[in-house]
Amino acid sequence: MQVKTLNFDIKGDDRGSLIALEQYKEIPFDIKRVYYIFGTQEGVRRGYHAHKNLKQVAVCVKGSCKFLLDDGKSKKYVELNSPDLGLLIDKFVWHEMYDFSHDCVLVVFADGYYDESDYIRDYDEFIKRIKDDS
């Protein structure tokens, strides 16, 4: 599995910093939905799913968190801890987020609207789907 991280240009001056994200530029798809996760309690893991079609870019705009990414063949671990770093999560990648810092704000850009039928929430079903598609 190739994990793709995206490095965003930081613009700014003595007043502070700014990062601009645009679809088909820094975000490699049409943005249909943006959501953010914050206030995650210590020891909580989130995610535990894959998507059949959805692609996402996750950016930790404050604090840090870690990701477990699994394509059914290999697992990769990534830490997001800077607002100028994004993580591209492709379809059919099981993902879990964990080790959220107390101040973590994780913003996610998605190429589709929320659709419960696009989720695979059972790991065994995910593995079966991956093997069936091979």
Q: 134 falls in which pLDDT band (50, 70, 90)?
A: low
Q: What is the pLDDT of residues 115-125, one digit of tens each?
A: 999 999 999 99
SS3 86: strand
Residue 132's pLDDT is: 82
Domain boundaries, the chain: 24-133
**Residue 3 or 81, more confident:** 81
Are 111 and 31 contacting, i.e. CB atoms less than 8 angstroms apart?
yes
Point out the catalytic residue in the list 49, 51, 95, 102: 49
Known catalytic membership, residue 49 = yes
CATH 2.60.120.10 for the 24-133 domain, yes or no: yes
Q: 133 falls in which pLDDT band (50, 70, 90)?
A: confident
CA gyration radius, the chain = 15
Please state the pTM of the whole predicted model: 0.93
* % of the chain residues with pLDDT over 90: 93
Q: What is the pLDDT of residues 63-99, one digit of tens each?
A: 999 999 999 999 999 999 999 999 999 999 999 999 9
Residue 9 backbone dihedrals phi, psi, to 5 degrees: -70, 130
Q: Which helix (H) or strand (E) holds 102?
A: none
